[in-house]
Amino acid sequence: MNIFRNKLLSISCGILLLLSGAIFLFPKRAYNSIESFSIWIRDYFGNFYLYLGLFCVLFLLGIALSPLGKLKLGKPTDKPKYTRWAWISMLYSAGMGAGILLRAVQEPVYMYLNPPITTGASDKTLALEYTFYQWGFTAWAFYGLFALVIGHYLFAKNKKALVSSSVSHLFKNKALLKSIDIIVILATVFGLVGAVGLGTTQINGGVNHLLKGDLGLLSTIILTLFICGVAFLSAWKGINKGIKNISKVNIFVTILLLLFVLSQSDLIIISKRFSEALFSYLKDFIPLSLAIGKFDPGIQFLTDWTYYYWAFWLAWAPFTGVFIARISKGRTLREMLLGVMIIPSLGSFLWFTVFGENAFQLIDNWGNYNNEFGNVFTSIFIFLKHYPMQFLVNATVVLLLTGFLLTSVDSAIFVLSMFSDRGNPNPKKSHRTIWSVIIAIFSVAMLVLGNVKPEIDVLIALQKVLIITSLPFALFIPVMSFLFLKDLLNK
């Protein structure tokens, strides 16, 4: 394959290489530019991100609960290819993955000790409610919207598996359509590299914790290359042989870990806290989503948490949405949308309740908290020190982190290959090879940059880049949704 004949692939790869080169040559200037631009977006579009999240949830609920929900994703005769268990395993592994391990203890504890708002609920219930909000329906609504729209045009309209397919019947300018797909690819790579950086750093932190040492940057680089290599093999084999099997193992081990902690918990307290936090979340969902009145945590908190999370979910939405659409063919829109929004959200809520409530109790019992759970990379390992078989359990967490990271990377490689192979739902293996190499190079470059320039936190820079690169999606979603609904109603 001649890469230069494929403009979408060559332009995307060229931009990524130029950006990485610019960051290496002018790190401080690049960081300052990113910082300024992200603040500008925050000031002018921050509230728009919030409104957009609420819109996506209500839009998908409206379609799912209306007569349109009976329509299938695909032809009326299409049947689901995957069992419900395999389907849920794959969409959850691709959509959340290592993040639930990264934040399992650290985020609920942060919210408990630094309540973002005051509602009258107990600090523990509020901490879980806010964690639910940032990991719940809105995140999955972003994913579900792209899955719905792209799946519809791919399976019902026989169009290419590209985000631009949703507007190709309205805009005939090829340069504009190609620009949309290039932005999608760039945002996907930045979002993925951010996840790889966070994930491999946490895995390395876990290994250091287990071995009571410091393996340093080289081990993180080797781990990153290993992750990308195995993910390439999984993507090379395709969804049926590679991605599906790893996803099912991930979910099985996650459930075992959850049950392990749950078996040593006070089930009455866990049930009570889960119910209270879920009720508060459902009751407060709209004012939380609009950050109005007493539900406004302030611009600094929104910037550090909510805007970043919304930008992260948006950056992942195109590739995760395409992947969900790919595995959801044959299901009704109602089943897909409610399944995507509700089932993974409830799973995350239970997860954060079990780990969060037990962490709260540890802090209360200590009487003197010294930020033991403040480090996002090591908090879960410190937490599990207080349970039996800690070495085995922590080793399991390291393996689980690796597995989740693998499914995120391999599904991203597969979908990026679909994008660059002109929307081919079964992309050529040459494309999978190229994206595996690009992702590995870019991920290692970010890790090395953070070591060479320690005064620059590269992961924070990537978070700010995500806010920038996700803005076009945020502006594009209302247009895409309107055109999709119009097309669906005119069937």
What are the pLDDT digits (tens) for 227-265? 888 777 776 665 555 556 777 787 888 889 999 999 999
Q: Which two tokens stand for residue 282?
A: 């459902």
Secondary structure (3-state) at 332: strand
Picking from 48, 145, 45, the residue whose alpha carbon sits closest to that of residue 477 is 145
3-state secondary structure of 170: coil
d(CA 473, CA 163): 10
Residue 184 · residue 419 · CB < 8 Å? yes
d(CA 223, CA 218): 9
Say how far apart CA 277 and CA 346 lie, in whole Å.
Answer: 12
Longest dimension (CA), the chain: 65
pLDDT the model gives residue 33: 83
For 48, list phi and psi in degrees, rounded to 5: -65, -40
pLDDT of amino acid 241: 56
Q: Is-contact 391 414, C-beta < 8 A?
A: no
Specify the pLDDT at position 457: 61
Compute φ and ψ for 332, nearest 5 degrees.
-70, 155
Q: What is the pLDDT of residue 46?
A: 83
Spell out the domains of the chain, with CATH numbers in brackets.
3-20+28-489 (1.20.1740)
What is the reported pLDDT for 8?
Answer: 83
User: In 3-state terms, the chain is what percent helix, strand and coil (to 5)?
Assistant: 80, 0, 20
Query: Cα separation of 24 and 13, whole Å?
Result: 17
**Is the pTM higher than 0.85?**
yes
Chain center to CA of 121: 29
Q: 3-class SS at 72? A: strand
What pLDDT does residue 97 have? 66
Q: Tell me which residues of the chain have a pLDDT lower than 50.
A: none
Whose tokens are 């320039």? That residue is 453
Closest among 223, 189, 233, 228 to 203, alpha carbons compared: 223
Q: Which two tokens stand for residue 355?
A: 């780990």
Q: CA-CA distance, 278 to 353, in Å (whole number)?
A: 10
